[in-house]
Structure 1
């Protein structure tokens, strides 16, 4: 053991091995580069790397919520960003998960808005009108796809009734812009880049759910609640009513308590820096930390919360 330490010190002194190489290296699972998860994950990774000793983290592009939940539960990622509804399914061990996953929440982050997008001149005016149409429901393994299918099921619409496609954010907006699909679904933060960019180059609408449809969705999937989106939240897009679900930062429920405490502390102590990079994290507050019910908060995160709310 002494010999190894001397060798390491010699390598460091000679510049062959830096102290950063001795630090623990981790990843945080995000989503596609055109969504909000990726820049948020990158910002958190940077803050943690700068404030937690011997800690290196990088943001990893993934398919999104389902993949992140699985990788966290199987210790292939330290942390992940995911939709609360997906994490709840992981915790309960229901489809698309084969069994109960070892997941725990660090904090609720911000609400995700369900966007069922169509061209502005489309004759599709209601979710029911999607039957028989070419619709991108989101990439395989993504929270968008899981949520879209769950919402349609809650409204009595089976995927087989659509000409469904499984495209990611970028491919969905591209296909919609080029007339290759009739509608596309993106579940992301209000102002998500993919929808913002599409609305700047094409005239689009986001389908509005009726009160009865919103009630049916909330009854079937309690983590989704109605949200009124005002007009011009996107360029020339009329107001719409839609379900929304909170995104969360998720870790393995058996992750080291001290490390998760430090991650939680660092995130909230540097939250202004996070908000400068990602506006929707204005919702990331201690008051909103427990907004996702049904999934346990990790003990390390709970410890920080208890200290701050005494």
Structure 2
């Protein structure tokens, strides 16, 4: 006989040693900036959560990105949050920009962010070193791009004039040549960058050579990834740095809500890919449990085991 949703969750939570109660109440998802894929993914997730759990009041909260999301989740100001793996590692170890360790778990690895260092197509700048002495936007303060950008500049030992702009402002500043480059951490293609590309033409810089040093200094949170040719107008692929995105729960979030959220991630994965996204970067059920540098929440681990049979 088929299990009901309630019976299914009871069985999963029994494995985790948790008592069952209906996953009801308010669920705030700390997402990211308008125009970025954090917000788009969070909206899709919220919609699927409401579809399977009508009792949930799911809200998507716009933020400036990973560092802000981690702080809000840790403070109980959001029940779920999206974060880059390097920011999560910094939070758990209490290293800059955090002042003390934060004990956080994860529900799943949901997709890959691509670090996109963008210049105008008509710019003479071809490498990161060419930006010496130039104005560069390294993402909004409180974003994962800002954290990574600082690390990249330090690792490369390049002296630039650092600005911190949200995406829309950074795009306008590059268009108007108030900055000579912008760093964006996001999915492919990012609509705001596609629009800029159509308006003035853009070029992405190859960051391959800095990956070994970044991994040596900060650990294996940085991957080598390729932005396919044609993602924007340029036909040539570009190699850059990829960082996994993780969905994290508030320490106070109930185990039934965590288990039910994991079930949404697994069973509705195909509905959680933004329409404009390149599919290869998004939710892969096989990699959901790879949540390093944070452990899976026990209720999430129990649900994954149950779903795998």
TM-score, normalised relative to structure 2: 0.86
Q: Does 1:150 align with 2:151?
A: yes
C-alpha offsets along residues 11-45 of structure 1, whole Å, 9 cap, x if unaligned?
A: xxxxxxxxxxxx61221011111100111111111
C-alpha offsets along residues 261-306 of structure 1, whole Å, 9 cap, x if unaligned?
A: 0111123222222236463566312311133422111112111111
Rounded Cα–Cα distance in structure 1 between residues aligned with 2:177 and 2:91:
35
Task: Tell me which of 185, 188, 192 is aligned to 2:186.
Answer: 188
> What aligned pairs does 1:282-297 form with structure 2 within 5 A after superposition?
283-297=282-296
Alignment-derived partner of residue 203 in structure 2: 205
Alignment-derived partner of residue 13 in structure 1: none
Alignment-derived partner of residue 260 in structure 2: 262
Give the direction of change, closer, same or farther, for the CA distance of 1:237–1:195 in structure 2 (3 Å limit).
Answer: farther
Q: Structure 2 unaligned runs (5+)?
A: 1-23
Is residue 82–residue 248 contact of structure 2 (8 Å, CA) maintained in 1?
Answer: yes
4+ aligned runs moved over 6 Å, structure 1: none
Q: CA deviation at 1:51?
A: 1.1
Alignment-derived partner of residue 225 in structure 2: 227
Rounded Cα–Cα distance in structure 1 between residues aligned with 2:127 and 2:235:
16
Q: Secondary structure at the match of 2:178?
A: coil
Q: Structure 1 unaligned runs (5+)?
A: 1-22
Specify the structure having the higher radius of gyration (Cα). Answer: 1
Is residue 119–residue 125 contact of structure 2 (8 Å, CA) maintained in 1?
Answer: yes
C-alpha offsets along residues 187-246 of structure 1, whole Å, 9 cap, x if unaligned?
A: 1112122222211212111111243x2221222232011112222211226321111101
Is residue 171–residue 182 contact of structure 2 (8 Å, CA) maintained in 1?
Answer: yes
Greater RCO (Cα-Cα under 8 Å, separation 6 or more): 2
Q: Does 1:26 align with 2:19?
A: no
Rounded Cα–Cα distance in structure 1 between residues aligned with 2:272 and 2:305:
22
Q: CA deviation at 1:308?
A: 2.4
Alignment-derived partner of residue 306 in structure 2: 307
Rounded Cα–Cα distance in structure 2 between residues aligned with 1:275 and 1:138:
24
Is residue 199–residue 236 contact of structure 1 (8 Å, CA) maintained in 2?
Answer: no
Rounded Cα–Cα distance in structure 1 between residues aligned with 2:291 and 2:132:
32
More divergent stretch after superposition (90-99 vs 234-243):
234-243
Alignment length (residue pairs) = 284
Is residue 86–residue 243 contact of structure 2 (8 Å, CA) maintained in 1?
Answer: yes
